[in-house]
Amino acid sequence: MIEKGETYLVMGLLDPDSIAFAIGRKITEQGGRVIYTVQNERMKRLLFDRNKKLSKEEKEKLEIRFCDITIEEELTDLFSDIESLAGIVHSIAYVNPKTGLGENFHTDAIEDLKNGFHISSISLASVTRHATNSLKKPSSIVTLTFDTKHVYPYYNWMGVNKAALEAVVRGLARQHGQDLIRVNAVSAGPLSTKAATNIPGFTELSQTWNNTSPIPWDTEKDKEEVANAALFLLGNYSQKITGQILHVDGGASITGGQLMPYEKA
């Protein structure tokens, strides 16, 4: 689905469980070149280098750069020597779990909320602004979101950030259509990653999917399906699709109430 030999920047690699890695691996399998970004060297050492899911050789083959998405100079540096990008994957989010997630929606930790909003929503626009001259015409930007039609327990301010991120997708799509840069999001069901396990109640969220997803949902294996959809949006078969939120969630986001026993596989 993607062109062999094209270069893609995949931002948000933490460890081999990251959605970023599932997408990057698929791009590589299809003959694309992938440049990953990791937030900083310390995180790479602690979480990526120590992870045993990939061999030393497999790790050394990956092309990795560092970029904290909230630091303008790091974005400038990153794009200063990257050119002819066919696509960018923005797979980044953060909110302080102690204040932005949990049983109580209310918090007075406004600085935490601002930081979460910067990382999880505004950063898509920051990346696009810095990347415009490095992107080919046509090219594609894909970000990752989570169902914003419903209010989920514990997800509190990340839910707000995701709603904002989807609005940023539409704003950027309108702005950059003239540059033939498409901007879309994949709205994924719950998947087992570091970010997800930091969400209090992730297990309950996964159980919710068992009760609401018409197509059975697997929090491990379905990372592949999310990656497939990202590749569709990155590649040649989506040339006139922009500003859209593509739900890859087994259908849970359109289900009213719970599945009846006769509807379950």
Ligand X SMILES: NC(=O)c1ccc[n+]([C@@H]2O[C@H](COP(=O)([O-])OP(=O)(O)OC[C@H]3O[C@@H](n4cnc5c(N)ncnc54)[C@H](O)[C@@H]3O)[C@@H](O)[C@H]2O)c1
Q: Max Cα separation, the chain?
A: 57
- Residue 188 has phi, psi (to 5 degrees) of -95, 150
Q: What does the angle CA 87 – CA 7 – CA 129 come to, to the nearest 5 degrees?
A: 40
Which of residues 13 and 113 has its CB atom nearest to ligand X in the complex? 13
* Min separation Cβ 36 and ligand X, Å: 9
Residue 119 interacting with ligand X (CB under 6 A): yes
Residue 127 interacting with ligand X (CB under 6 A): no
Q: What does the angle CA 47 – CA 115 – CA 77 come to, to the nearest 5 degrees?
A: 65
Secondary structure string (H, E, C) spanning 116-158: HHHHHHHHHHHHHHHHHHHEEEEEEEEEEECCCCCCCCECHHH
| Sole binder of ligand X in the list 193, 238, 242, 244 (CB under 6 A) | 193
| Sole binder of ligand X in the list 32, 87, 116, 190 (CB under 6 A) | 190
* Min separation Cβ 194 and ligand X, Å: 4
| 84 Cβ contact list (under 8 Å, min separation 6) | 7, 134, 136
Residues between 200 and 239 with contacts to ligand X, criterion CB under 6 A: none
Q: Which stretch, 1-9, 15-23, 80-88, 235-243, contacts ligand X (CB under 6 A)?
A: 15-23
Which of residues 181 and 217 has its CB atom nearest to ligand X in the complex? 217
Q: Which stretch, 16-24, 96-104, 209-217, 234-242, contacts ligand X (CB under 6 A)?
A: 16-24
Residue 183 interacting with ligand X (CB under 6 A): no
SS3 189: coil
| Sole binder of ligand X in the list 1, 54, 122, 196 (CB under 6 A) | 196
* Pairwise CA distance, residues 76 & 54, whole Å: 30
Residue 159 interacting with ligand X (CB under 6 A): no
| Sole binder of ligand X in the list 2, 188, 229, 231 (CB under 6 A) | 188
Whether omega before 138 lies within 30 degrees of 0, making that bond cis, reads: yes
Residue 14 interacting with ligand X (CB under 6 A): yes
Residues between 35 and 94 with contacts to ligand X, criterion CB under 6 A: 39, 43, 68-70, 91-94
Q: Which stretch, 130-138, 139-147, 167-175, 231-239, contacts ligand X (CB under 6 A)?
A: 139-147
* Pairwise CA distance, residues 97 & 90, whole Å: 21
Strand ranges across the sheet with 63-66: 63-66, 33-38, 7-11, 85-90, 135-145, 181-188, 245-248
Q: Which stretch, 79-87, 100-108, 193-201, 255-263, contacts ligand X (CB under 6 A)?
A: 193-201
SS3 184: strand
Can you give the binding site for ligand X, defined by CB under 6 A? 12-14, 18-20, 39, 43, 68-70, 91-94, 119, 144-146, 188, 190-191, 193-196
